Amino acid sequence: MSGESATPGPTLFQQQDANRHRTTLLVVCFVLFFAWLGFGGDYIYYLATLHNLPYETHHTFPWFGILLTVVAAWIAWYGYSTGPEKVLWSTGAHEITDPATDQEKQLVNVVEEMAIAAGIPRPRIWIVDDPAPNAFATGTDPQHAHIAVTQGLLDLMSRDELQGVVAHELGHIKNFDVRLMTTLAALVGVVLLIRDGTGRFFWGGRSGGRSRGKGEGDLGALVVVLLVIWILSWILAPIITQMLAMAVSRKREYLADAMSAQFTRNPTALANALQKIETSDAPATHLKAGAAHLCICDPLDRKLNDHPGTLGDVMASHPPIEMRIIRLKGMGYAQAKAEGHLPPDTPRA
């Protein structure tokens, strides 16, 4: 039976709602994960001291679990509310409030035009003094959004190409991608800091003594197993959160590319911009790993991004640029053909 119709994709409002729910779920999982680390540590400590002698330490109150849960909740709130400012601060971006050069005036004009096309308020505009061409958006919603481009991007792009890049970032803002990805950037950084700090505490400050309780042999195996799982949780936490950030970024880039084509009605412009970014050999000096998944292209090592497959699909922060360019050129071809700008026999790009 061949009369089945294709399942329609989610609407813009459904995508926005999904990103709101993902952000909430992300924060809840973050707090629950640290609650497990805290209360799990308390339980392991309780078992390890259960058979201590009366005058030795007996851990009975879950102070570590309560403290870590409260701290995680505060960090999640603080990271969500101040994430955009922290991302911009980490890149050394400076805001354009009164454009002084022709490049700055053109950038402001392009952002204003594309904001009107996207139907959202004009975001605040920033420039990162980085020679590598790139751009990113951050914020919590379209009313509190920022767009940043590098000096290298301004130096390299034509006006049409700059439009394509800006429209891509406004697509992230309109979809509420920025809320999810900025929160991820904040939480990834926090996990790395906490992991490093606790690692120094546990591995550098462990006591060489051991419990002399009568029943310690009965619980020894259980304590060891739980301790191994607990330590692995600390070790894997930053890896898992970074992989999550990369996966979120990969899924959103194709959609933002399509929205750029919709806003500019010129998908070839973004394809050309991506090609220039891909072939540029200027080093990224200000965009680091914490903000990599926010950028239009990976500012760091793109070897994994350029090789689709199991490893690249899991570890890369962006889909392959070549695939994105092919899709955009396909959109351009379809648009030109629909508008009658191509002869019927013109081969597809």
For the annotated catalytic residues, the residue numbers are 169
User: How far, in Å, CA of 182 to CA of 27, rounded?
Assistant: 12
Tokens of 179: 């809320």
Phi, psi of 295 (to 5 degrees): -75, 160
User: How far, in Å, CA of 253 to CA of 293, rounded?
Assistant: 10
Strand partners, 130: none
Q: Which amino acid, one-letter code, is at 74?
A: W
User: How far, in Å, CA of 136 to CA of 147, rounded?
Assistant: 6
User: How far, in Å, CA of 196 to CA of 181, rounded?
Assistant: 23
User: How far, in Å, CA of 130 to CA of 128, rounded?
Assistant: 5
Using DSSP's 3-state secondary structure scheme, residue 222 falls into helix
Counting beta carbons within 10 angstroms of the beta carbon of residue 131, is it exposed (0 to 12), middle (13 to 18) or buried (19 or more)? middle
User: How far, in Å, CA of 172 to CA of 167, rounded?
Assistant: 9
Sheet order of strands, 135-139 included: 94-95, 124-128, 145-150, 135-139
- In sequence order, what E strands does 4-103 have? 94-95
Residue in the structure block whose two tokens are 């058979």:
51
User: How far, in Å, CA of 255 to CA of 262, rounded?
Assistant: 11
